[in-house]
Copies of this chain bind each other. A is one copy, B any other.
């Protein structure tokens, strides 16, 4: 949320500099907030390098003998998964926790991000003394298939052509992501995960893990998510995709080959999505109708209001680190997600006879994945006779709450994992 940051004030991609009467308008050159990136801008070839060889990551490769069979009916082979780990796997390999990232997350969950130089996206939850302590657990965080930080995705090099996949990369699903993660687990020699934890799209993966591999998941913590994407959520995603595809620099997805980059479209997509991550109350509390560094309106299309500057900043910084095609693929995967449909129309059947114990968490002000969705998940788990605890946390921070300082969430995750540890026979220290 960048507290204390000075947001970009001037016109966004087109700098609209007005005299205050709208009679002087100039186009400014494209502005990128590059000052925070150690590697300068995010030129396509730069992004492609991270897409194939991400910094500060481990990579698992899967050759022709181990194809990834996709829901689309094709196989991906060869492919790779970029991932990070924290802590040490214990002797009986019973202390592994898989952390699944959200739409625009990646494997840098508990370490500085190589592009943004920001702290890991879930260092509030994972780290020494935190609810998921690497001194106790072996934490694995993979970049999802379809992502752009080293796992095979549209920005990766297609080994058959030596060029970026672009839209020739097959469309993947949440189930495909989890299928690939299970293959990573095989390669790591781990049979059963002590826990799978994630929020938003990460939470979808948690639920998919429990549905696809119930015997491999001892405990599951799906946070701020649902077992299917709603019509409204599909609609918001579709607007983001159209914003990207409407950018002439998208070039039918071939921008990496043609030396262009649909930054503008991707930034607009991010701006729109970002509103859905916050609550009306949070926006009101943070920004209200406050003007940006001035007393009165400019009567122009400058960013008069702080909330405008904030959103522009979100858009501009996002395109530094994310691939536009990857955004298309991952939003599509979320849209397709529908555990009940996969289970013949009855959600409870997705979890029938599950041995996994669940801790479902939602937030009162989350309107992207409202509590009603988590409650539906809990009802289905009850119907499947699963062990499930459920917490709705009161906060005005909206969907983003799962990434923010929410002591109640930390306490719940800590307590749930403690109990599960005892049930699993994990000692306090390895």
**Residues from chain B with Cβ under 8 Å of A253 in the complex:** 25
- Beyond A230-B280, A230-B284, A280-B230, is A268–B252 a contact (Cβ under 8 Å)? no
Report which of B23, B272, B367 forms a contact with A239, defined as CB distance below 8 A: B272
Stretch of A9-17, A61-69, A203-211, A217-225 on the interface side: A9-17
A300-318 interface bits toward B, Cβ cutoff 8 Å, 1 = contact, 0 = none: 1101110110011001000
- In the complex, whether A179 has a CB less than 8 A from a CB of chain B is no
A29: interface (CB < 8 Å): no
Instruction: Contact check, B246 vs A265: say whether CB atoms are below 8 A apart.
Output: yes
Of B14, B25, B239, B286, the contact of A311 (CB 8 Å cutoff)? B239
- Complex CA gap A234/B305 in Å reads 8
Question: Closest chain B residue to A303 by CB distance?
Answer: B238
Are A22 and B72 CB-contacts (below 8 A) given A239-B268, A242-B271, A312-B242? yes
The answer to whether A231 and B73 have CB atoms under 8 Å apart is: no
By the criterion CB–CB under 8 Å, are A307 and B234 in contact?
A: yes
Which has the most chain B C-beta neighbours within 10 Å: A236, A239, A253, A265?
A239
Binds B, one of A44-52, A117-125, A168-176, A418-426: A168-176
- Is A32 located at the chain interface by the 8 A CB criterion? no
Known: A72-B299, A170-B22. A239 touches B271 (CB 8 A): yes
In the complex, the chain B residue whose C-beta lies closest to that of A25 is B167
Stretch among A105-113, A331-339, A383-391 lining the B interface: A331-339
Taking CB atoms, residues of chain B closer than 8 Å to A304 are 335
Interface presence of A229 (CB below 8 A) = yes
- Given contacts A25-B168, A299-B171, A275 and B16 within 8 Å (CB-CB): no
State which of B12, B71, B246, B287 has its C-beta within 8 Å of the C-beta of A242.
B12
Contact A22 B268 (CB under 8 A): no
Docked-complex contact A21 and B73, CB < 8 angstroms: yes
Interface residues on A, range: 35 or more
Q: Are A72 and B232 also in contact (CB < 8 A) when A12-B242, A311-B238 are?
A: no
A297 close to chain B: CB less than 8 A: yes
Q: Does A248 contact B (CB under 8 A)?
A: yes
If A234-B308, A252-B27, A265-B246 touch, does A20 touch B72 (CB 8 Å cutoff)?
Answer: yes
List the B residue with the shortest CB-CB distance to A309: B238
With A170-B22, A171-B22, A268-B239 as contacts: A13 and B284 at CB distance below 8 Å: no
Q: Does A267 have its Cβ within 8 Å of any Cβ on chain B?
A: yes
Interface residues, chain A, CB within 8 Å of chain B?
Answer: 11-14, 16, 20-23, 25-27, 71-74, 167-171, 228-232, 234-236, 238-239, 241-243, 245-248, 250, 252-253, 264-265, 267-268, 271-272, 275, 278, 280, 283-284, 286-289, 297, 299-301, 303-305, 307-308, 311-312, 315, 328, 332, 335-336, 338, 341, 367
Which 3 pairs between the two chains have the least Cβ-Cβ distance? A246-B264, A72-B299, A231-B283
